[in-house]
Amino acid sequence: MCGSEVIPLPEAVRRVVDVLHSRQHPHAPVMLDAAARTAQQAADALGVALGQIAKSIIFRRKPDDVAVLVVTSGDRRVHEGLVAALVCSEGLSKLGRADAEFVKARTGFSIGGVAPLAHASDCVTLIDRQLFRFDEIWAAAGHPHAVFKLTPQQLQQLTGAPVADVVEPVGVAAS
């Protein structure tokens, strides 16, 4: 072989490609040479600011076992109490962290590659306002090696999710 073999995209990335294509998004996912399971790894691989990485954090709404996706800047930490106030009528005690099995079952993606769209089942989605500090952001595309470029406005259009303030005050370390 000549070193230019075509490697098929993983099924989860193909789902993201299909959604982006159907909504006429101008940027297809790209496969990175190294895994970008964390926002820092993605920022380093892309040569962008940590805040330009649209990280996906999944919570579990306990009363109905629904996934809650918060998409926020890679340099910010999600404030669970603010999220709970928006998505749970009973408050924080009804919102919990999601384990890897729950994330995979609800979204169809493994942790480290959760895209903000093309989920296996419906989930509640919130977009943190801090992403709007940037003209260009990058989100996971269904696999730890796959990302795609977009603007915060495109993220909102693609997901239909509301924009909210759901992060810790600046000065608190990012997770």
Q: How far apart are the first and last CA of the chain?
A: 43
Cβ neighbours around 69 below 10 Å, total: 24
Residue 99: what pLDDT?
Answer: 96
Mean pLDDT, residues 117-137:
97
Q: What is the pLDDT of residue 170?
A: 79
Above 90 in pLDDT, residue 119?
Answer: yes
Residue 34 has pLDDT above 70, yes or no: yes
What would the pLDDT profile of 42-100 be if each residue is shown by its tens digit? 999 999 999 999 999 999 999 899 999 999 999 999 999 999 999 987 655 789 989 99
Distance CA(16)–CA(21), nearest Å, equals 8
Tokens of 57: 């954090």
Those residues whose C-beta lies under 8 Å from the C-beta of residue 112, and which sit 6 or more positions away, are: 35, 36, 37, 38, 140, 144
pLDDT at 51: 97
Quote the mean pLDDT of the chain.
92
- State residue 89's pLDDT score: 79
The domains found in the chain, sorted by start residue, are 32-164 (3.90.960.10)
Is the pLDDT score of 36 beyond 80? Answer: yes
pTM here is: 0.90
Q: What is the pLDDT of residue 22?
A: 97
- If phi > 0 it is left, if psi is from -120 to 50 it is alpha, else beta; for residue 132 that is alpha
pLDDT for 102? 97
pLDDT digits (tens, 9 = 90+) for 102-114: 999 999 999 999 9
- Give the pLDDT band of residue 1 (cuts 50, 70, 90): very low
